[in-house]
A and B are shown apart, each in its own frame.
Chain A
Amino acid sequence: MRNLLKWLYRVEDGLLVALLLAMIVLAGVDILARLALGSGMAWIAPVLRVLVLWIGLLGALVATRSREHIAIDVLSRFAPVPVRTAMHFVAAAFAAFICLALAYYSKNFVQTAYEFGDKAFSDVPAWLLQLIIPITFGLMGLRFTVQAVQALLPSSQKVTA
């Protein structure tokens, strides 16, 4: 289990870094092409836009690991420990529920695009590009579930999610 998680983290990090590198290189090539040829290459712009989505969602998934999502962190700073525990649990459980619901509905969305054979650009099937949405929300949902359970454990038993 530990190893599986470690492997998953590697894949997420690696993919995120590779996509960002690809974005930097492609965006650079696009400018050079515009300067040299007068116009950018037609396929680069849509690829860059899809990269934004993938990088954003993967970044959000990685941020879930280290609990770095943007939140209003006012009350828990001043709350006594038992209240804080309850708040952590409720917050994480709620986020888990919403993420899993989003994963479910975006799975339907991808399925529809698959059945209708939607094309994104050139001949790339749209469902392939959309697949990242249910995958990342599903994993985020699982991660928040683990964090909700952890909130209830005594602090000595906490394992890294």
Chain B
Amino acid sequence: MSMLVPVVLLLLALAGAPLFAIIAASAMWGFWQADVDLQTMAINIYQIAEMPVLVAIPLFTFAGYLLGESKAPQRLVRITDAFLGWMPGGLAVVALTACALFTAFTGASGVTIVALGALLVPALQKAGYPEKFNLGLVTTSGSLGLLFAPSLPLILYGVVAQQMALETPVSIDSLFVAGILPGLLMLVALSLYSAWQSRGMVRETHPFNKKEAWAALKDSAWELPLPVVILGGIYSGYFAVSEAAALTAFYVLVVSVVIRREISLRRLPVVMRDSMKLVGAILLILGVSLASTNYMIDAGIPEQIFNFIQQHISSPITFLLLLTLFLLVLGMMLDIFSAIVIMIPIILPIAVQYGIHPIHLGILFLANMQLGYFTPPVGMNLFIASFRFNKPVMQLYLATIPFFFILLACVLVITFWPWLSLGML
């Protein structure tokens, strides 16, 4: 019986049952076995109302949706083009940078491909890049920027890790700092590949144009303070994450509805509601995972797994290699938010036993998940791109292959070179 329940739950998950129900069921089964009153489920869900940092999640998500619905993506592409378009492989670099920025601010939910892809693919096409390259680039960029503040996965990892009460504290601020170099590594590696791709192409870059740069700056005048104030505020420690989120939501709301009037008052409630559906889906999973995490810790499950693994693996390097393999598969099956709340409570205590720093683990975990977004056959962004650009999924599998291997190399560097994540702390 005790083996049967996990198997049945796994089958239900594969049949498409909502993940929150699966997690809730496993926690309830565990508590039931241990004779704990199931009211504890509600107590755990109510914990959502006891974590101040969670305020950031609805606020950032709303701001991201609003930005995606406004004309901010067009302006973002224009301004990056004006300033980076002169470089070799310029437009591709523009695409990568714009996507990374946009993803960091909108929380990696596939919004980037929908909002920016429609602008970038035709532009790249016109500049003379082959279609295969364009599709691969935009699909890959949909999850680029995950490691930059204030991305939601970084925040969520911090929230979950803080619940574990480890000896080394995991502050969200240090996660934001830790993500910078690994994120830049990915961005630079893809930019170099793009520059190399554009060799021998009819010169598609344009020289730097002062007039256009100034015009683009003026065009984005209302958005420009946002990254400066938010990132500056967070990195200098002047704002807490939740305050930065409040400021962003308020500012974006005023600019896009009152000042620019790109979102009508009639449209606003729809955007609000749609963004909160995603928030609800994430927080519900988080709430029930708080219960399952509590159960697992009480039952000592991470120790049991650790003892089992340790019988076979003693070196941290082998452990990290196997972890990478495991996370790649996991990233294909689970979206990043569920992966964090389900797997981190199990993986983190084990990794700490192998001497891996919790912040390094967070960065390498998210870097792996970023790959999972477009790992065939089921990476979510492959389907979003297939839908958005009206291309068969098969074509996107092929298009993303070179990008996959470049980022895989980056993930390995991030995994085995902890300094990259920890050096700036």
Contact = CB atoms under 8 A, between A and B. Distances in A.
Q: Which of B42, B272, B283, B285 has the most CB of A within 10 A?
A: B42
A132 B48 CA distance: 13
A55 B279 contact: yes
Nearest to B58: A55
B226 interface: no
A62 B277 contact: yes
Interface in A12-62: 13, 16-17, 20-21, 23-25, 27-28, 30-31, 34, 45, 48-53, 55-62
B58 A75 contact: no
Contact of B45 (A59, A87, A108, A133): A133
Nearest to B18: A69
B387 interface: no
B16 A55 contact: no
Q: Sort chain B's interface into a size bin.
A: 35 or more
Main secondary structure, interface of A, reads: helix
Given A71-B19, A106-B39, A59 B338 contact: no
Nearest to B285: A70
A95 interface: yes
Contact of A95 (B21, B52, B57, B287): B21
A51 B247 CA distance: 17
A91 B16 contact: yes
A60 B378 CA distance: 24
B91 to A, nearest CB: 34
Interface stretch (B7-15, B160-168, B210-218): B7-15
A72 B58 contact: no
A109 interface: yes
A106 B277 contact: no
Contacts of B51: 49, 52
Nearest to A20: B272
Contacts of A63: 277-278, 280-281
B356 interface: no
A27 B249 contact: yes
A50 B49 contact: yes
Given A52-B54, A53-B283, 16 more contacts: A24-B59, A27-B242, A45-B52, A49-B55, A52-B49, A53-B45, A57-B280, A60-B283, A73-B16, A76-B15, A91-B15, A94-B21, A94-B25, A101-B28, A102-B24, A105-B39
Interface of A: 13, 16-17, 20-21, 23-25, 27-28, 30-31, 34, 45, 48-53, 55-63, 66, 68-77, 87-88, 90-92, 94-95, 98-99, 101-102, 105-106, 108-110, 112, 129-130, 133-134
